[in-house]
Structure 1
Amino acid sequence: MLHSIIKATLASTLAVGFAATAANAETRVTYKSAKAGSSYYQMGVEVAEAIKKGTDGNIIMTIEESQGSVQNVMEVRARGGDYVFTAPPALVDAAQAGTGAFEGKGNPKFSEIRALFPIPSLTMHFVMSKASGAQDFAGMAGKTILLGKGSFGATEGEKYLKLFGLEGKVKIADAELSNAGDALKNGQIDGFVTAGSWPAPNVVEAAASVDVNILSMTPEQVAETKRAGLTIPAGTYAGQDRDILTTSLPVVAYATTAMDDETAYQLTKTFWEQKTTMSGSAPWWKGVDKSLMANIIGKLHPGAVRYYKEAGFELSERQM
């Protein structure tokens, strides 16, 4: 009899112990985005905090520094189901097709990449001082413009100057983009071009210290660039009393089919449920809404699809 009681008690204790262990189990994932100190690295920190808070600590996300989106995609070859990374959808498409930066570097694992959710897009800003008189792209002729060097914004800005007939008609300032605000204020330049999630901190700073015009494109100009169109709402920057039509490079958080469906579901669900709170402390999350889902040109993770169907998102056949 005593032996039976002890056996039953031991079994009960073990059951409680196993239940407690299961309840306290953590899922750990790695989030790889951008260089430390960049806005996209900071976004990763904010996503990690939101995921931890929204899952009561059941999913812990570790932020890992990256040298860029190509590296993020390439690392899929050696990573497992705990890997989340960010990249433009077009880059993932190129990896899966073995083109562009991935020509001759194809890998079967690239076909396993699946999208989770969009994050703030890299948004083009053409910022001109009001003193320059430039209110549209034609008005940039004869002005001194700072493009910066080596960045997406610099490359894209140079491309747009050519597209819009301004090649050779503007003077390109030889300076770092980090000096744009001071250079604009001091009259050393008439404007600068930058790409970042909106509201972009360097544009906020410039608009707060000098009167600026942030140039808006026409729908025809947006179509010419072959980039995704994006509207920056009126009031985003000081003195901006109208919507600004510009272009953007969409950026998305991805995993692979190696990630289990439940983890992908919880990550996606928690991201969208926490987005309003995130927007309160970091305004760039206000730029993420359902409309950005259209920029995901590849397949979504089945776990993410489950959430989107529950939440009433409209998905394309290609995304599923």
Structure 2
Amino acid sequence: MKFRYLTAAAAMAALSALSATAETRVTYKSAKSTSSYYQMAVQIAEAMENASDGEISVTVEESQGSVQNVMEVRARGGDYVFTTPPVLVKLAKDGKAMFDGKGDPAFDGIRALFPIPSLTMHFVMSADSGAASFEDLKGKTILLGKGSFGAREGEKYLELFGVKDEVSIADVELSNAVPALKNGQIDGFVTAGSWPAPNVVEAAASTGVNVLSLTEAQIEETGRTKLVIPAGTYAGQDADIVTTSLPVVAYTTTKMDDETAYSLTKTYWDQKSNMAEGAKWWAGVDEGLMSNITGQIHPGAVRYYEEAGFDLTDAQK
């Protein structure tokens, strides 16, 4: 009796240990804690843990930016997932731009898992400004913000479309854009983030705005990816907004085992509709965004995509 009891206890201990080792731990490095992309990371972490009954445990880490996320590949292991635009992965592998002189063999092991909402350009003009095109920006006061992708991209577009010297740039933080628009301090502001963008939602609901569309020629001139924000996304928006975006993708490396990459990718797509109920930006993610992945996808994720019937390019495999 005593021997059988000890044997059962040992078996239970072994099963307990096996269960503990079965848990998959992942570190997800995203963006600053104040950004929408950090909120997305938290949503993904919660979705992963809930859908897997705790078998997938995701720890979200704050980041100072996409370049840092890529650089940390050099010191991270197989549990590392991070977000960045695909263009930065290519630059890292080629040792160019901000990665000049900082090349590392670890960059060659970067592999994609799944696309997340793109950084989407919004040129938001007050209804009272009457601005409906970039030509109409002449003589207007625009808030670009400071140091962000949206600020840099916005300034580039003003120059590309020939209105930079005829626009006044407001010296106001982007966080104050909506109040500044409401009190007439500015005629419009530029912001980049996932759509629907919270500050654009607020501005559209409180003051009435017109979000500018780009022509096909202008989009080609920017060199960015075309993106269409459907009509009705923002209050008073009766037509689609044609704009540009910078794709963002969740990556890992070849250090991650195939089963973990498969589980993460499958759970992400399975839970996307549930996440969209809590945050509308997930509604903009669909199979069409797979074309934004310009490099190789992790073999474990490829297995999921092939099972789910996604069309992958040879370059992605």
Partner of 1:293: 290
Unaligned runs of 5+ in 2: none
One-letter identity of the residue aligned with 1:285: W
**Cα distance in 2, alignment partners of residues 313 and 140 from structure 1:** 42
In the alignment, does 2:125 pair up with 1:137? Answer: no
Partner of 1:214: 211
What is the aligned residue count?
Answer: 316
Large movers: runs of 4+ above 2 Å: 8-25
In the alignment, does 2:284 pair up with 1:266? Answer: no
The share of aligned pairs that are identical, in percent, is: 68
| 1:12, distance to aligned residue in structure 2 (A) | 5.9
TM-score normalised by length of structure 1: 0.95
**Cα distance in 1, alignment partners of residues 222 and 37 from structure 2:** 24
| 1:22, distance to aligned residue in structure 2 (A) | 2.5
One-letter identity of the residue aligned with 1:84: V
In the alignment, does 2:246 pair up with 1:253? Answer: no
| 1:14, distance to aligned residue in structure 2 (A) | 3.9
Partner deviation per Cα, 1:142-167 (whole Å, 9 max, x = no partner): 11111111110000000000111112
Partner of 2:18: 22
Partner of 2:87: 90
| 1:211, distance to aligned residue in structure 2 (A) | 1.3
| 1:16, distance to aligned residue in structure 2 (A) | 4.8
Task: Determine which of 98, 101, 105 is the counterpart of 1:101.
Answer: 98
In the alignment, does 2:233 pair up with 1:236? Answer: yes
Partner of 1:147: 144
Partner of 1:31: 28
One-letter identity of the residue aligned with 2:176: N
| 1:225, distance to aligned residue in structure 2 (A) | 0.5
Partner deviation per Cα, 1:1-57 (whole Å, 9 max, x = no partner): x9xx94x77656544543343245311110001111211111111000000011111
Partner deviation per Cα, 1:165-198 (whole Å, 9 max, x = no partner): 1120111111111111111111111111100100
TM-score normalised by length of structure 2: 0.96
One-letter identity of the residue aligned with 1:303: G
Aligned to 1:31, the other structure's residue is in SS state: strand
**Cα distance in 1, alignment partners of residues 255 and 7 from structure 2:** 35
Q: CA RMSD in A?
A: 1.4
One-letter identity of the residue aligned with 2:70: V
